Copies of this chain bind each other. A is one copy, B any other.
Amino acid sequence: MLRSARKQQLKETIYAKAMQLFVEKGFDRVTVDEITSACGVAKGTFYNYFPKKEMVLLYMGESQMERVAGHLEALSRLPVIRQRIETLFAELAKQAAAQPELLRVSMSEMVRSSALLGEEMETIKRFEKAIIPLLNEAKASGQMQRGHSSELAAVMLVGLYFQTLMRFASGYYADEEQMQTSLLAQLQLAWQGIGGEE
């Protein structure tokens, strides 16, 4: 029953070829037949590794999110927590924005299939979990109000990030720079708060 890891790397091959074709021709213009032919396997094989065509994109999203921890490691020297988050988000957004069509389909599919497939939301939850320690650190050093929940703040910040990406994917922003500007401004506003004196 020990599955030969060599065979499971066929998944990587399919993934890589599929992504290459998606970038070259656009998601909708690439058929599953095309992907499998390019890999020298039959169509059905694709579905042994990805339950839906769109699942290739979620697989991409996962691996992207797995690098969050690494990014935060690299940013740990920054004393201002808010700046670490700003930089992390800006970096992730930059990567995602490089392929707007894939971003759009990924975002769309993230919503559509997560409830069915169950596990997709885990990606976002992991993202949130990764920044909760940052917020705790911020609280400890007086950079965040003690009274607020780190978990809630994480939900808000991550939500803000995804929401901005969605807008970008949907053509709300004219270009990536506008999105980055808006993202930064929103983060700062979230940090300061909208409210005035009581």
Name A's B-contacting residues (CB within 8 A): 82, 100, 104-105, 107-112, 114-115, 118, 120-121, 124-125, 135, 138-139, 142-146, 148-149, 152-153, 155-157, 159-160, 162-164, 166-167, 169-172, 182, 185-186, 189-197
Contact = CB atoms under 8 A, between A and B. Distances in A.
A164 B163 CA distance: 10
A148 B189 contact: yes
Contact of A115 (B115, B142, B171, B194): B171
Contact of A193 (B118, B125, B190): B190
Nearest to A112: B108
What 10 A-B pairs come out closest when comparing CB atoms? A193-B193, A108-B112, A159-B163, A115-B171, A114-B170, A191-B195, A108-B111, A163-B163, A192-B193, A108-B108
Contacts of A104: 111-112, 115
Taking the full assembly, how many copies of this chain does it contain? Answer: 2
Contact of A196 (B115, B146, B167): B146
Nearest to A141: B196
State the majority secondary structure of interface residues on A: helix
A197 B189 CA distance: 15
A173 to B, nearest CB: 10
A111 B107 contact: yes
A193 B196 contact: no
A82 B196 CA distance: 11
A191 to B, nearest CB: 4
Nearest to A156: B186
Given A163-B163, A169-B115, A191 B190 contact: no
A57 to B, nearest CB: 12
A124 B153 CA distance: 24
Nearest to A165: B111
